Amino acid sequence: MRRSHNSIGSKMTFTIVGVSSLFALLTIMVQLWWNYHSALDNAVADIDRYTRSLLPSMSHALWDVDQPLLKDLVSGVGVLPSVSGLELSSRDGVYLNLGQGVPVDPGHRYLLLHYPLSIQEQAIAELTVALDRQQIYLQLGREVMVIVLGNGLKMLLVIYIILTLANRLIVRRVEALANFADGINLSELTKLRLDPKVAESRDEIGLVAQAFSRMYQRMRHDYALVRRQQRALTRHQQELSQTVEERTARLRWQTDANRQLAQISLGFLNVSVDDIASLLAQVVRQIGELLQVERVSVVEFEDDRLHYRAFWSCIPNAQSADEQLTDVARLKRRFTNNSMIIIEDVESISGRWPEEYRELSSLGIRGIAGFAIMDGDALVGVLALAQVSGHLEWNDDKSQLLTQFAATLNALLIRRRREGQMLLLQRQLLRANARLAKQAATDELTGLVNRRPFSKRLEQALGTEALLLMMDVDFFKHYNDSYGHPAGDEVLRRLAQALKQALPEDALLARIGGEEFAAVCPGQAPEVCRQLPQRLLDAVRELNIPHGASPHGRVSLSLGVVNLLGVDSVRDAMGRADACLYRAKALGRNRAEWEEN
């Protein structure tokens, strides 16, 4: 087989080279970064250790004004690797500058190290050492080639080993498997032989090769089997022709059954509630005659009891068994777990379901078929067909027909329940609507009315001697920021209660915004009207709720008061009251302002 760029070997080569190159590049970068920081740390440590060992001698030489010794000591530091310059500056004016000196702006290239010189814990000078990172860069540059060559050789060696093993263990053996698969011809299935070397290993490819070989052997076996079956099929053609009449009769029965089922379903759709019982009686008779059974019944579960909604029997004077079933709960469990139960011979369940066996035997039933009637996931009733004189003869066609019929019974049996439930739901809906209407007009937090009913009350009071009071909590946002929103909600509840108690009984107090309240007070005596705003302010002041973010030190209100006499619109009244409220805030808050006229 000719190899292409899509072969496993090519893909493995590209993948390994790419991954190895990326890993080698990351390794080199990490190693260079590590070497750089190690070299920098070592250089700083060497300079620091050597310089600190000379600091006492430098201090004494500077104190004794021994310039030659001082210069020698400083020069000793200057010859250290990576040191580009030094600068010694004393308080007495002694200044030494060696090497390239200390740059004013070190930038990224230079690292400045400062060492104070002191005598008897008194600073007399400062030594500044400039470390040149460029020297470290040059040293790293010399190491790069060694690192690159070392990692490159390791990468090439690993790639060679991996590709060699992959070619030997995978690629060649996979090619052999492909050649074997190409040689399979389903039209002939000539004998082929797979190279033993491919399948002799117990690894995954060896297992696949063995599976290929076994599959090929099965295909040859199946091919021979098909040939034998073709010959047997010819023999069965005559037998098949004999069954055509039986199948034709079966199809006729199915056609007649489906026709009757369609008529029954149409009757269910058009029947009135009052005629359900008579229609069910007619339907169970048709089902019994069609399926040639001795009893047909439709039962419904109500209040842990079984009630017969329809019953038919070909046996004269046969009665339903409403009072004879003693364990309805067990029967419901059976049909909850099984939508269809077929017992052709009751004796067959004597060991498996002993309680059901005794129950059915006591009713004289020899065979029974039951189909669950469901309302969603709830079991509503059961459609049951029974034999009392012999075993029940059953087949899949009957099961399919009765399953469809049980499904059509759902709407019929639950209609009565649904009508009652609908009336109950209507009453519940009326109560819920009344409750929602009340909630829509009430502020949930304070229990006061909200803006809508307040606006209606305000509109009724327009043009009268009533007062409109607009109230706003001072610095309430700061209170929430300082004490938290739960504490703010509690303040609003307490304010609502205090304001409501301070207002006249016929006044309407509402919460119309976050921290905004409004009240409509019908006409009162002039003295009461004049004192009302101050009474509200006093009621809030008596609460004495601390407010650290307010200049007053406690929670307070600002009020705007408007007389509604001569006001002809809600919008105008609210606008005037807002203007008074803003004037109260502008004048320092914690006060009430009346409209000027």
Tokens of 133: 């990172």
**Secondary structure class of 256 (helix, strand, coil):** helix
Q: How many whole angstroms separate alpha carbon 148 and alpha carbon 143?
A: 9
Q: How many whole angstroms separate alpha carbon 76 and alpha carbon 67?
A: 14
Q: Above 80 in pLDDT, residue 1?
A: no
pLDDT tens digit string along 3-61? 555 666 667 677 777 777 788 788 878 877 887 788 778 888 888 888 888 888 878 87
pLDDT tens digit string along 167-222? 666 666 676 666 666 666 666 666 666 666 666 666 666 677 667 677 777 777 77
- Can you tell me the mean pLDDT for 99-106? 74
Residues 6+ positions from 466 with CB-CB distance below 8 Å: 520, 521, 522, 523, 563, 564
Q: Could you report how far apart the first and last alpha carbons of the chain are, in Å?
A: 107
Q: Look at residue 469 in the predicted model and tell me its pLDDT.
A: 93
What pairing do the DSSP bridges indicate for beta strands 110-119 and 122-132?
antiparallel
Which residues on neighbouring strands pair with residue 342, listed in sequence order?
369
Query: Cβ–Cβ contacts within 10 Å for residue 228, how many?
Result: 9
Residue appearing with tokens 């209407």: 437
Q: How many whole angstroms separate alpha carbon 51 and alpha carbon 117?
A: 11
Q: Above 70 in pLDDT, residue 326?
A: no
Q: How many whole angstroms separate alpha carbon 76 and alpha carbon 346?
A: 114
pLDDT tens digit string along 473-511? 999 999 999 999 999 999 999 999 999 999 998 999 999
Q: Domains of the chain (ranges plus CATH)?
A: 8-140 (3.30.450.20), 271-421 (3.30.450.40), 451-594 (3.30.70.270)
Q: Look at residue 536 in the predicted model and tell me its pLDDT.
A: 93
Q: Look at residue 323 in the predicted model and tell me its pLDDT.
A: 44
- Amino acid (one-letter) located at 280: L
Reported confidence tier of residue 102, pLDDT bands at 50, 70, 90? confident
Contact yes or no for 110/131 (Cβ under 8 A) = yes
The per-residue pLDDT of the chain, averaged, comes to 79
Q: Above 90 in pLDDT, residue 543?
A: yes
Q: Which value, in Å, is the radius of gyration of the alpha carbons in the chain? A: 51
H helices of 4-66, where? 8-63
Residue appearing with tokens 């409109």: 468
- Percent above pLDDT 90 for the chain: 19
Q: How many whole angstroms separate alpha carbon 342 and alpha carbon 399?
A: 9
Q: Distances from the Cα of 316 to the Cαs of 159, 295, 480, 596, in angstroms? A: 94, 11, 85, 101
Contact yes or no for 70/78 (Cβ under 8 A) = no
Q: Which of these, 145, 120, 116, lies nearest to 128 by C-alpha position?
A: 116
- Amino acid (one-letter) located at 76: G
Residues 6+ positions from 486 with CB-CB distance below 8 Å: none
Q: Above 80 in pLDDT, residue 78?
A: no
**pTM, whole model, 2 decimals?**
0.35
Q: Look at residue 488 in the predicted model and tell me its pLDDT.
A: 92
Q: Distances from the Cα of 427 to the Cαs of 421, 431, 437, in angstroms? A: 10, 6, 16
- What letter does residue 121 receive in the DSSP assignment? T
Q: Look at residue 476 in the predicted model and tell me its pLDDT.
A: 93
- Can you tell me the mean pLDDT for 239-256? 77
**Which string of b and e fits 191-208 if b means at least 16 CB within 10 Å?**
eeebeeebbeeeeebeee
**Secondary structure class of 66 (helix, strand, coil):** coil
H helices of 368-515, where? 396-440, 451-461, 476-483, 485-502
